[in-house]
């Protein structure tokens, strides 16, 4: 059995702030989550060229902002003038690319729980894990519920573990690898986050029986959500806050 205190996952977690109802990884997304009564959100965090932790999914800024090029080559001053909302609709024009500090202030003020997905730029796995974990520990100092760190990158999680051992961690994967027990134990994770399409009922049972918490992404279909919850999945990360009611 896993000895740690469980992370208080709600049944649903808003993917990238507010799912697809608002521009991803912006404060407008988090506001949308609040509007739907969500109590937790996931977001993607990486490092700017000058090592500021900020929110962005892709390696490049072009899909979700009016800028162009590699995120890792830009300083936070350059990133902060981009419009990260206009691509989603005129109502969101001028939304900024938030820093992790912006999001921490918002989440702590609103009582929103946060799953920080450490999403390193290419070649920056270790330093991103270390700097994001250290910054998260600082920003949430004294909080009743710490942020949950997750990553697909084992090197990033290992660095996060060394930098801020007290912060809870989840190993994030698409298909669950055969050696999931060893990975979770080595990284001292409390949870596994997997693509719901690769999960089976037997694997869900094994993971839960081993004492770990289990989240599936990205679940947008209410019927599928019921199946997964029936298998013992603790939490579902979703784009469709309008279809999966907050619980
Ligand atoms: O953390 C779950 C999910 O966000 C992982 O996939 O590509 O949306 O970051 P992605
Ligand atoms: Mg993510």
- 187 contacts 168 by C-beta, under 8 angstroms: no
For 237, the enclosing helix (H) or strand (E) is strand 235-238
Does the pLDDT value for residue 40 go beyond 70? yes
CB neighbour class for 30 (10 Å; exposed up to 12, middle 13-18, buried from 19): buried
Q: Report the percent of the chain where pLDDT is more than 70.
A: 99
Residue 153, ligand 1, Cβ within 6 A: no
Based on the residue annotation, tell me whether 15 is a catalytic residue of this protein.
yes
For residues 132-154, give the mean pLDDT: 98
Look at ligand 1, atom 5, and give the residue with the nearest C-alpha.
217
Q: pLDDT tens, 155-183?
A: 999 999 999 999 999 999 999 999 999 99
Which residue has the CA at smallest separation from atom 2 of ligand 1? Answer: 217
CB 169 within 8 A of CB 157: yes
The answer to whether residue 57 is catalytic is: yes
Task: Give which of 147, 136, 199 is closest to 173, Cα–Cα.
Answer: 199
Cβ atoms within 10 A of the Cβ of 80, count? Answer: 17
Q: Is the CB of 44 under 6 A from ligand 1?
A: yes
User: Tell me, what's the pLDDT at 247?
Assistant: 85
How sure is the predictor about 1, in pLDDT bands with cuts at 50, 70 and 90?
very low
- pLDDT of 86 reads 98
Q: What is the pTM of this model?
A: 0.98
* ipTM above threshold 0.85: yes
**CA distances, 152 to each of 24, 32, 42, 44, 120 (Å):** 19, 26, 14, 11, 10
Nearest CA to ligand 1 atom 7: 57
Q: Look at residue 2 in the predicted model and tell me its pLDDT.
A: 54
């Amino acid at each position: 059995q896993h000895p740690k205190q469980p992370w208080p996952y709600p049944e649903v977690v808003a993917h990238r702030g507010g799912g697809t109802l608002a521009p991803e990884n912006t404060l407008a997304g988090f506001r949308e989550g609040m509007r739907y009564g969500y109590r937790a959100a996931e977001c993607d965090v990486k490092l700017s060229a000058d090592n500021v932790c900020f929110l962005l999914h892709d390696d490049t800024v072009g899909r979700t902002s009016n800028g162009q090029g590699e995120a890792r080559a830009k300083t936070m001053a350059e990133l902060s003038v981009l419009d990260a909302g206009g691509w989603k609709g005129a109502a969101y024009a001028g939304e900024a690319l938030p820093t992790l500090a912006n999001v921490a202030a918002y989440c702590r003020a609103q009582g929103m729980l946060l799953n920080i997905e450490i999403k390193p730029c290419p070649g920056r796995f270790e330093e991103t894990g270390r700097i994001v974990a250290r910054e998260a520990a600082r920003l949430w100092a004294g909080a009743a519920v710490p942020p949950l760190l997750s990553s697909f990158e084992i090197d990033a999680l290992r660095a996060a573990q060394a930098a801020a051992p007290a912060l809870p961690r989840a190993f994030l994967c698409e298909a669950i690898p055969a050696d999931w027990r060893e990975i979770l134990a080595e990284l001292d994770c409390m949870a596994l986050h997997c693509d719901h399409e690769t999960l089976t009922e037997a694997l869900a049972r094994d993971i839960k029986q081993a004492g770990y918490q289990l989240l599936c992404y990205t679940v947008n279909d209410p019927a599928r959500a019921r199946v997964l919850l029936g298998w013992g999945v603790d939490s579902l990360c979703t784009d469709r806050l309008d279809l999966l009611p907050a619980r």
